[in-house]
Amino acid sequence: MTLPAGLNDRHHQSHREPTGRSGEVAVAVVGPDGSPAGAVGASSGATGQVSVANTATQIVAARATRREVLIVQGGTTDVYIGYSSGVTTATGVLLPGSAGAALTLKTTSAVYGIVASGTDSVCYAEEYD
């Protein structure tokens, strides 16, 4: 596609590349900061492991800049996940007791877990800016 004559491309001139065909250029679609459009990932991350008990246990604290948190089952006991210390086995989302089962949450809230009895281990990986 040939660009129209007189096109004012001052702001994104650096993102124009020749296509190898005479009279044509490619224009890259970029985000406001110049990063590739649709780029994913965050500038920071954190990982950890938590032993979840039969009382609501905080897995990750609230973080205003979090993009998402991945919670991975480390044991064989069902864990129920919720957004408050009031989570119960009746109100939480089931993370099955199968090592490697995972749940991804796009939240900035604190995340809690609870088991019916005993304890279970979960790991988390969170992305944030």
What is the full per-residue pLDDT of the chain (129 aa) written as tens digits?
Answer: 454 555 555 544 544 555 566 666 556 666 655 656 665 678 899 999 999 999 999 999 999 999 999 999 999 999 999 999 999 999 999 999 999 999 999 999 999 999 999 999 999 999 999
What are the residue boundaries of the structural domains of the chain, listed by start? 1-39, 44-128
Q: How is 70-122 classified by DSSP, letter by letter?
A: EEEE-SSS-EEEESSTT--TTTSEEE-SSTT-EEEE--SS-EEEE-SSS-EEE
Lookup: tokens for 98: 């199968």
Question: Is 0.85 surpassed by the pTM of this model?
Answer: no
Q: Which of 33, 40, 100, 105 is nearest to 73 (CA)?
A: 100
State whether CATH 2.30.40.10 applies to domain 44-128. Answer: no
What is the spatial distance between Cα 109 and Cα 42, in angstroms, rounded to a whole number?
Answer: 17
Dihedral angle, C-alpha 42, 46, 51, 52, nearest 10 °: -30
